[in-house]
Amino acid sequence: MDLDALGISARDERVYRYLLRRPDGVNRAEAATDLGLCAADLVAVVDALAELGLISGHEVLHARDPERALDDLIERRIAETRERMREIGAVRDVLPSLLRERATGEPVELIERVEDIDRVYARIAEVREASDECLAIASAERRHVQPGQQQRTLDRLRRGKIYRTIVHRDALASPAMRAHMTVIHRAGDHHRVVNEQVQPTLIFDRAVAFVPLDPGNPANGALVVRQPGVVATLLDLFERLWDRATDLEPAGDGLNEAERLVLDLLSRSSKDETAARELGVSVRTYRKHVASLMERLGASTRFQAARLAGERGWL
């Protein structure tokens, strides 16, 4: 079997194997002669192998230990494949806008202005129902819970939806709001608290965002943002704020039952289809749970996520 699956051409593999047989290293001129390569071709091969982390050295070339070198390269390729799969899977997020265009006969704008607050709520409900993940920032002015909101959130969490919420500490001054947040936090809508000023934001499936038209008065309406660059910026701001925030209930690891099961399934290396059936969710939703946990752990691969979770005592 060759190494083409790792992006190593037959010529590059021949050079790497040649260097492996010379553990003390070999200078470029000797290598070029032995391999029958001109200087320019050898430079191209050496640059490619160095980029892949398979060799080191400048004038004298050394092959890295194959076990470590290939392990590192495999981990890198797995991470790249995972990211590519997430990009492909994100194409599904276009579905709500396609359905809306079919239903209304009108084009869906990448940045849409919605001024009527009732229409804003209707659009949020529409996008929320079709999404698997919701990232929210609640402002200090949030003081009231809409009727039925808590039960709807609990129902979505039971269906495997992924929620994370950042809330300003002043919002916790309301006993009713604190009680509501504590209930859904423990059910899996992870809440973190900040002291700095924040603006209300909703991001669904990392593809659609809602931000207020007027930061001082969210009731004036909202912008519905689908422009990828703007959404990516909002996501980056959310994650940076999340990292600075503190957990609503600092004790414990903050994992819900579904996340614990996902980690257990990861540690057993179950197939996604089998794991999703055991969790009672779709394969797509299971993979989003995995991606969310990997992000929280700072892991680039599933194997690394399981190892880091074990080190933290999450397993």
CA 100/CA 94 separation, integer angstroms: 10
Model confidence, pTM: 0.54
> Domain spanning 4-86 has what CATH number?
1.10.10.10
In the prediction, which pLDDT does 166 show?
A: 93
Q: Which regions of the chain carry the CATH code 3.30.870.10? A: 109-247
Alpha-carbon torsion angle 283, 286, 291, 297, nearest 10: -150
Q: Please give the share of the chain, as a percent, with pLDDT higher than 70.
A: 88
**pLDDT > 80? residue 95:** no
Q: Give me the amino acid identity at 157.
A: L
Cα Rg of the chain, angstroms: 25
Alpha-carbon torsion angle 250, 135, 202, 90, nearest 10: 170
Q: Which regions of the chain carry the CATH code 1.10.10.10? A: 4-86, 257-311
Whole-number Cα distances in Å, 213 to 114, 118, 230: 8, 14, 15
Task: Tell me the pLDDT tens digit for each residue of 113-127.
Answer: 888 888 888 888 888
Task: Tell me the pLDDT tens digit for each residue of 220-273.
Answer: 889 999 888 889 999 999 999 998 888 887 655 556 667 777 877 777 656 778
**pLDDT > 60? residue 171:** yes
> Domain spanning 257-311 has what CATH number?
1.10.10.10
CA 236/CA 135 separation, integer angstroms: 12
Q: For domain 109-247, is the CATH number 3.30.870.10? A: yes
CA 293/CA 305 separation, integer angstroms: 8
Q: Please give the share of the chain, as a percent, with pLDDT higher than 90.
A: 16
Looking at residues 120-143, what average pLDDT do you find?
A: 84
In the prediction, which pLDDT does 93 show?
A: 58
